[in-house]
């Protein structure tokens, strides 16, 4: 009972997400929401290293693309069975992430951001220029949809929606377990002060590396899902702008919060789609909105709500204290 109560927000989200396809026949809506779920998984990766561990990685579009292209190339060119290729794609991204992290994490703060930004751009260049392997600017066409698991096939939009939703739920639960555990606290301690973390005996380099590798794994997972969902890959998914899109989702939703990636990605992706008639003028709305958020709600929508809740609770407690102290004021100090 208490478990249901504690997680009621997550369960409401889940219920709505499970019912959503029943209420709409519009394949396009379903497509957009599925896409936003895929990006959410990648943004969770960014949130773990950037939001919780405090190391802002700007290479995540690159890792997303490595996951996507690995799956695409393995299935299209190498004819590897789909789910085997899927696992391999995640694995390849993670291994690349490990080696990049090993070097990148020797830098700190903005140097880390700049370094990873460069790594992301190099990944983009490799995909763009390595014509024989990746198809370069023409892209990679004909990535197969996920092959059936037993009786369940993934041809329809609905089935794809539920597949991606299943992965998102798994990622969410993993993130919840991780960030609310001692391990998550360790990451937050590093974000707060790497010096203090070291003096209390935390091997900060190792912890940062683990956090980074998990975050690239999530980006790769999202990339692999993306490849078989959109079924066409172009080099632009690894471009720097994609990283900044992801960062925008994260900042709007709430960096360093559990629900931030969920809220931010869903809102921005759907709003962007519904404002399509405005073309590039959309940015006239997004620009000021982002500036406003960063100044007044540095921890995004979710962070803002959390703060408001904490303040309300504090006031309530103060009020209770005041009433109890007036009734027993003769015993006061």
Instruction: Give the nearest distance from C-beta 151 to another protein in angstroms.
Output: 29
Q: Name the residue nearer to another protein (CB basis): 193 or 324.
A: 193
User: What are the CA-CA distances from residue 143 to residues 18, 29, 85, 134 (Å)?
Assistant: 27, 22, 12, 12
Q: Name the residue nearer to another protein (CB basis): 133 or 170.
A: 170
189 lines the binding site for another protein (CB under 8 A): yes
Nearest to 105 by CA among 187, 177, 220, 41: 187
Q: What tokens were used for 89?
A: 């794609």
Instruction: Give the nearest distance from C-beta 40 to another protein in angstroms.
Output: 19
Supply the angle between the helices 109-129 and 240-253 in degrees, to the nearest 10. Answer: 140
* Spatial contact of 223 and 212, defined as CB atoms under 8 Å apart: no
91 lines the binding site for another protein (CB under 8 A): no
324 lines the binding site for another protein (CB under 8 A): no
Give the residue, chosen from 27, 203, 274, 318, that forms a contact with another protein under the rule CB under 8 A. Answer: 203
Instruction: Give the nearest distance from C-beta 112 to another protein in angstroms.
Output: 20
For 93, list phi and psi in degrees, rounded to 5.
-60, -45
Distance CA 270, CA 258 (A): 20
Q: Name the residue nearer to another protein (CB basis): 1 or 182.
A: 182
Instruction: Give the nearest distance from C-beta 323 to another protein in angstroms.
Output: 19
Nearest to 75 by CA among 237, 234, 239, 233: 233
Region near another protein per CB under 8 A, out of 24-32, 195-203, 222-230, 238-246: 195-203
Q: What tokens were used for 86?
A: 């899927």
The residues of the shown chain that bind another protein, judged by CB under 8 A, are 174, 177-178, 181-186, 188-189, 192-193, 195-196, 198-204, 210, 214
């Amino acid at each position: 009972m208490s478990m249901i109560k504690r997680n009621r927000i997550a369960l409401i989200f889940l219920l709505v997400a499970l019912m959503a396809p029943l209420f709409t026949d519009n394949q396009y809506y379903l497509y957009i929401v599925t896409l936003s779920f895929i990006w959410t998984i990648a943004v969770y990766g960014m949130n773990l290293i950037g939001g919780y561990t405090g190391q802002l990685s700007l290479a995540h579009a690159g890792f997303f693309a490595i996951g996507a292209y690995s799956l695409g190339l393995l299935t299209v060119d190498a004819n590897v069975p789909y789910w085997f290729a899927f696992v391999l794609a995640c694995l390849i991204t993670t291994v690349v992430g490990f080696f990049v992290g090993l070097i990148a994490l020797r830098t700190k703060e903005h140097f880390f951001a700049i370094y990873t930004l460069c790594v992301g751009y190099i990944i983009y260049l490799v995909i763009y220029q390595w014509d024989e392997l990746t198809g370069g600017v023409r892209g990679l066409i004909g990535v197969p949809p996920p092959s059936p698991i037993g009786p369940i096939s993934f041809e329809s939009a609905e089935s794809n929606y539920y597949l991606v939703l299943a992965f998102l739920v798994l990622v969410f639960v993993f993130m919840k377990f991780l960030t609310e555990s001692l391990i998550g606290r360790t990451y937050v301690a590093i974000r707060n002060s790497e010096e203090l973390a070291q003096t209390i005996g935390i091997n900060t380099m190792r912890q940062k590396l683990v956090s980074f590798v998990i975050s690239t794994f999530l980006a790769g997972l999202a990339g692999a899902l993306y490849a078989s969902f959109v079924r066409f890959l172009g080099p632009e998914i690894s471009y720097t702008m994609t990283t900044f899109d992801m960062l925008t989702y994260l900042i709007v939703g709430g960096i360093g919060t559990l629900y931030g990636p969920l809220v931010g990605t869903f809102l921005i992706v759907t709003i962007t789609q519904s404002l399509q008639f405005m073309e590039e003028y959309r940015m006239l709305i997004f620009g000021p909105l982002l500036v406003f958020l960063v100044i007044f709600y540095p921890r995004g929508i979710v962070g803002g709500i959390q703060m408001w809740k904490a303040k309300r609770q504090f006031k309530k407690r103060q009020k209770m204290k005041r009433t109890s102290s007036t009734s027993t004021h003769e015993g006061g100090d």
